[in-house]
Amino acid sequence: MSNNDSYRQLESYLKKVEWETSKAVKIVESSDLGIEGMLSAFRYDPDSIIIIIKAGADRSKKDLIRSIAHEATHGLLIFKMGYCRPDFHQGVPDQIIKNARLLFTMLDDIVVNKIIQDNGFHPFGSEYIPSVKREIQAALNGENLYLNYSRDVVFDQILMISRYVISWAFLEYYELENHHQEILNEFIMVFQESFPADYQLATKITRIISKHNIFNSEGHARIIFEILSLWGLQETLNIKCPL
């Protein structure tokens, strides 16, 4: 599919999201998305679906097109499907908020990427598989790429575990090409051998996800509450479900 065809596909999908949510999709630009390498981000607003893209980004590029579809689908989860979002108590430290949001993103992305795959988009960007390969090689070399990613060891642990959980979910719920399945299965195996303590926590999370249906709002709410509890984060927020 050419870039022009991909952009037309995106335009059609965004119109579908607008129709199903009764919310306008608004794309705005920013010079700082908060995390290096991010192409776009979703920002909650009660009246519209706001997608922030990197200032000056080429909107015809396939990875950005996929990323915009991904972020629009976060709005679909909230405004059509009734998925929950976090609402933090006053005075909660920024780092706690950041950690809890990362857990929400981990779970939401399992659903979001499945929806965009079902609508003709690739479930992950072009950098995902090469990144997983680098993580495999680093682990085989005895390196932990996830250490010191931030100044908070809890955030780094959640980020590390989220990489496992997302890979597990791709294998569990998605239709993938055989060579992608092989790479993700290798990552799962290497992660288990290289990081046994984190693997134990990661498998607690996958068991919680398997116990409920993450693809409906009730199951998602049960999953997020149980997973937040693993880090004692459930007391820091209200879980708001719009429907």
CATH number at residue 72: 3.30.2010
Tell me, yes or no, whether 49 and 92 share the same domain.
no
Among residues 205, 121, 114, 115, which one has the least CA distance to residue 163? 205
Tell me, yes or no, whether 101 and 64 share the same domain.
no
The predicted model scores a pTM of 0.92
Distance between alpha carbon 207 and the CA centroid of its chain, in Å? 18
The whole-number pLDDT of residue 40 equals: 85
Among residues 10, 15, 33, which one has the least CA distance to residue 25? 15
The whole-number pLDDT of residue 26 equals: 96
Tell me, yes or no, whether 56 and 127 share the same domain.
no
Q: How far apart are the first and last CA of the chain?
A: 37
Structural domain ending residue among the three candidates 80, 98, 121: 80
Tell me, yes or no, whether 42 and 8 share the same domain.
yes
Say how far apart CA 120 and CA 104 lie, in whole Å: 24
The whole-number pLDDT of residue 151 equals: 78
Q: How many domains does the chain have?
A: 2
Tell me, yes or no, whether 64 and 98 share the same domain.
no
Tell me, yes or no, whether 132 and 183 share the same domain.
yes
Tell me, yes or no, whether 69 and 102 share the same domain.
no
Q: How does pLDDT run along the chain (243 residues), one tens digit per residue?
A: 556 678 899 999 999 999 999 999 999 988 766 665 677 889 999 999 999 988 766 766 888 999 999 999 999 999 999 999 888 888 889 999 999 999 999 999 999 999 999 999 999 999 999 999 999 999 999 998 887 677 788 999 999 999 999 999 999 999 999 999 999 999 999 999 999 999 999 999 999 999 999 999 999 999 999 999 999 888 877 777 664
Structural domain ending residue among the three candidates 45, 60, 80: 80
Three-state SS at 124 = coil
Tell me, yes or no, whether 63 and 90 share the same domain.
no
Say how far apart CA 241 and CA 86 lie, in whole Å: 9
Rama region for 82: left / alpha / beta (φ>0; ψ in -120 to 50; rest): left
Tell me, yes or no, whether 130 and 66 share the same domain.
no
Say how far apart CA 15 and CA 72 lie, in whole Å: 10
Tell me, yes or no, whether 120 and 176 share the same domain.
yes
Residues 6 and 38: beta-carbon distance below 8 Å = no
Indicate the DSSP class of residue 236: G
Diameter of the chain measured on Cα atoms: 51
Tokens of 18: 């607008």
Tell me, yes or no, whether 202 and 185 share the same domain.
yes
Residues 235 and 229: beta-carbon distance below 8 Å = no
The whole-number pLDDT of residue 57 equals: 67
Residues 121 and 66: beta-carbon distance below 8 Å = yes
State which residues form the domain around 69: 1-80
Angle, CA of 120, 121 and 124, to the nearest 5°:
145
Tell me, yes or no, whether 159 and 71 share the same domain.
no
Structural domain ending residue among the three candidates 80, 113, 136: 80
